[in-house]
């Protein structure tokens, strides 16, 4: 069975560690914890997140053996001291949590917060509920959560822990919901970047110096792995599929032809075998994205271009960039992670300005855009030589590009709209922005190339936050050159 997004990342695992000052508990503290549990559980379900929390540590169990030492936990619901932090960290590591939320139910415990953040080294969100003056004669406020966060944030900086903060507000305020959703997007982006493993199939076109990358530097700086696959290896796999996997070929063609016309294609079964072969490579080598030669190997051996195949791989949650654009593949991983695979990304050339609209630019490529992005008002088809041919839909677009230059890495992020414009062949749309001249100058002065990744939706805030965690400069069209 061929399914969309079969390569999609699993659910994000979020650890929630409630904290309070050890000597300070009252009805407001407990009320805050209950409200937070209810809200976070609801938002986690909405965002397709797997939750683990300090609530789940066995209430009857007061001692834990960690690293050969017996540690005592002060309370099963809250993190209130240094040993609590070590125990909670051990539990979250066992569950392989990929992001951390520490809500302050009152002033909290700054040492424990900083220690847990340091131990886990994952994106961290801190927040506390807004207080009210409930008793005008009381010496202290009900929780003082904001004051505790000021203290903890300094400790996190001392430990070198990057974190995200939602401003002091009520749990049901829109600012909390928006901040929480953005943080989850951020955590997915960080996970995708840190786990990037790119299959490089054959070599870049000889003329394309612009897509050259430093493979060793990507590994040393970021842990990004590049897996070289020879063109011969891919050809052998495709030939073997053609001989033995008729059922898989039939299933894939049946799925594609539900939405795309393949009648012009000279060899449908070969196209399906190429796609199955590339999926096999990704599975065999545990790769979550691909960057492939598209000019020589496949065209030479099979007589068709792999363009539509690349787009269909994006449809399955497996970004596959043409012209061996490895940085483009990494950029695509960031985009689809932000969207949680709710939409496919696409790799496009910045090609030409709209002939009549000074603030619109043609985003085009010769046929590798995912079929799910097709404008519903056009009939999409694959050419006789294997290229997709259809414009894509209208809507808000985030456009991004991760790139390196002299050892420095940055991510360009801009926002615009996908609009219609003069028709052309291949896959395309027109990107309309507030001031195209600033975009054009940014790309000419660099460090970016003419390839960009588009994703429907607005992910500027989460990409900005993710760049902080990843040690990458966040760049926009409107930053000075």
Given this model, what pLDDT does residue 62 score? 60
Residue 60 scores a pLDDT above 50: no
Q: Choose between 135 and 286: higher pLDDT.
A: 286
Please give the structure tokens belonging to residue 47: 């965002």
pLDDT for 210: 76
Quote the distance between the C-alpha of residue 113 and its chain's center: 26
Mean pLDDT, residues 368-393 taken together: 97
Q: How many helices (H) and strands (E) does the chain have?
A: 14, 20
307-315 and 268-284 helices, crossing angle to 10°:
50
pLDDT at 137: 66
Give the helix/strand (H/E) hosting 418. Answer: strand 408-419
- Whether 286 shows a pLDDT value over 50: the answer reads yes
Q: Radius of gyration (Cα) for the chain, nearest Å?
A: 25
Strands 320-321 and 289-292: parallel
What pLDDT is recorded for position 63?
62
- Which tens digit of pLDDT belongs to each residue from 100-137? 999 998 888 999 999 999 999 999 999 999 887 666 76
pLDDT(420) > 60: yes
Q: What is the pLDDT of residues 421-466, one digit of tens each?
A: 999 999 999 999 999 999 999 999 989 999 999 999 999 999 999 9
Q: Please tell me the predicted confidence (pLDDT) of residue 68.
A: 65
Closest to 276 measured CA to CA, from 319, 323, 312: 312
Tens-place pLDDT, residues 310-362: 999 999 999 999 999 999 999 999 999 999 999 999 999 999 999 999 999 99
pLDDT value of residue 479 = 86
Q: Are 383 and 426 in contact (CB under 8 A)?
A: no
Supply angle C-alpha 62, 67, 68, rounded to 5: 75
Asked if the model's pLDDT at residue 161 lies above 90, the reply is yes
Predicted confidence (pLDDT) at residue 66 exceeds the cutoff of 80: no
> pLDDT grade, residue 28 (50/70/90)?
confident
> In the predicted model, is pLDDT for residue 74 greater than 60?
no
Q: What is the mean pLDDT of residues 200-218?
A: 87
12 backbone dihedrals φ, ψ, rounded to 5°: -70, 135
Per-residue pLDDT averaged across 382-393, rounded?
97
pLDDT value at residue 138: 64
**In Å, what is the CA distance from 322 to each residue of 296, 307, 365?**
12, 8, 9
Q: Is the pLDDT of residue 57 over 60?
A: yes
Q: How confident is the model at residue 143 (pLDDT cuts 50, 70, 90)?
A: confident
Q: Which of 286, 283, 273 is nearest to 312 (CA)?
A: 273
Is the pLDDT confidence value at 481 over 90?
Answer: no
The average confidence (pLDDT) of the chain is: 92
Q: Are 268 and 253 in contact (CB under 8 A)?
A: yes
pLDDT at residue number 107 = 85
Find residue 382's DSSP bridge partners: 388
| Chain centroid, CA 123 distance in Å | 13
Residue 393 to residue 424: CA distance in whole angstroms: 15
- For residue 244, is pLDDT > 70? yes
Please, which residues have CB within 8 angstroms of residue 481's CB and are 6 or more apart in sequence? 441, 442, 445
CA dist., res. 1 & res. 326, Å (int): 29
8 A C-beta contact, residue 165 and residue 121: no
CA separation for the pair 119, 111 (Å, rounded)? 12
Measured CA to CA, the distance from residue 194 to residue 284 in angstroms comes to: 20
More confident of the two residues 23 and 33: 33
Q: How many CA atoms lie within 13 A of 452 on its CB side?
A: 29
pLDDT for 108 equals: 83
Q: Which residue has the higher pLDDT, 297 or 207?
A: 297
Please give the share of the chain, as a percent, with pLDDT higher than 70: 92
């Amino acid at each position: 069975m061929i399914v969309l997004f079969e390569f999609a990342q699993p659910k994000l695992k979020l650890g929630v560690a409630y904290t309070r000052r050890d000597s300070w508990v009252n009805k407001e503290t407990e009320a805050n914890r209950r409200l937070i549990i209810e809200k976070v559980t609801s938002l986690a379900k909405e965002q397709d997140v797997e939750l683990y929390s300090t609530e789940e540590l066995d209430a009857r169990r007061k001692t834990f053996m960690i690293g050969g030492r017996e540690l005592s936990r002060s309370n099963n619901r809250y993190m209130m001291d240094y040993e609590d932090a070590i125990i909670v960290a051990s539990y979250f590591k066992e569950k392989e949590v990929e992001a951390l939320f520490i809500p302050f139910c009152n002033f909290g415990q700054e040492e424990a917060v900083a220690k847990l953040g340091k131990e886990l080294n994952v994106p961290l969100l801190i927040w506390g509920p807004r207080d009210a003056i409930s008793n005008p004669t009381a010496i202290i406020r009900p929780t003082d959560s904001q004051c505790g966060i000021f203290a903890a944030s300094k400790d996190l900086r001392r430990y070198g822990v990057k974190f995200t903060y939602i401003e002091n507000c009520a749990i049901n305020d829109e600012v909390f919901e928006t901040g929480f959703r953005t943080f989850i997007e951020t955590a997915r982006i960080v996970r995708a970047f840190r786990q990037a493993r790119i299959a490089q199939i054959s070599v870049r076109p000889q003329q394309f110096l612009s897509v050259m990358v430093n493979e060793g530097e990507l590994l040393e700086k970021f842990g990004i792995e590049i897996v070289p696959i020879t063109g011969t290896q891919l050809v052998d796999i495709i030939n073997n599929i053609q001989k033995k996997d008729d059922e898989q070929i039939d299933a894939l063609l049946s799925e594609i032809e539900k939405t795309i016309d393949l009648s012009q294609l000279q060899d449908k079964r070969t196209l399906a075998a190429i796609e199955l072969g590339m999926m096999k490579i990704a599975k065999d080598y545990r790769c979550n994205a691909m960057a492939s030669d598209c000019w020589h190997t496949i065209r030479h051996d099979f007589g068709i271009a792999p363009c539509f195949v690349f787009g269909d791989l994006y449809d399955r949650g497996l970004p596959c960039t043409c012209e061996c654009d490895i940085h483009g593949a990494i950029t695509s991983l960031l985009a689809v992670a932000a969207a949680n695979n709710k939409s496919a990304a696409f790799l496009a050339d910045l090609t030409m300005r709209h002939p009549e609209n000074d603030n619109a630019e043609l985003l085009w490529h010769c046929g590798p855009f995912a079929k799910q992005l097709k404008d519903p008002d056009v009939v999409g088809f694959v050419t006789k030589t294997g290229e997709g041919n259809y414009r894509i839909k209208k809507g808000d677009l985030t456009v991004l590009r991760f790139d390196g230059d002299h050892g420095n890495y940055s991510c360009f992020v801009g926002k615009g709209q996908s609009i219609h414009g003069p028709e052309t062949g291949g896959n395309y749309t027109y990107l309309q922005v507030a001031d195209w001249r600033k975009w054009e100058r940014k790309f000419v002065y660099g460090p970016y190339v003419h390839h960009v990744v588009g994703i429907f939706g607005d992910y500027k805030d989460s990409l900005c936050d993710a760049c902080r965690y990843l040690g990458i400069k966040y760049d926009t069209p409107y930053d000075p050159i």
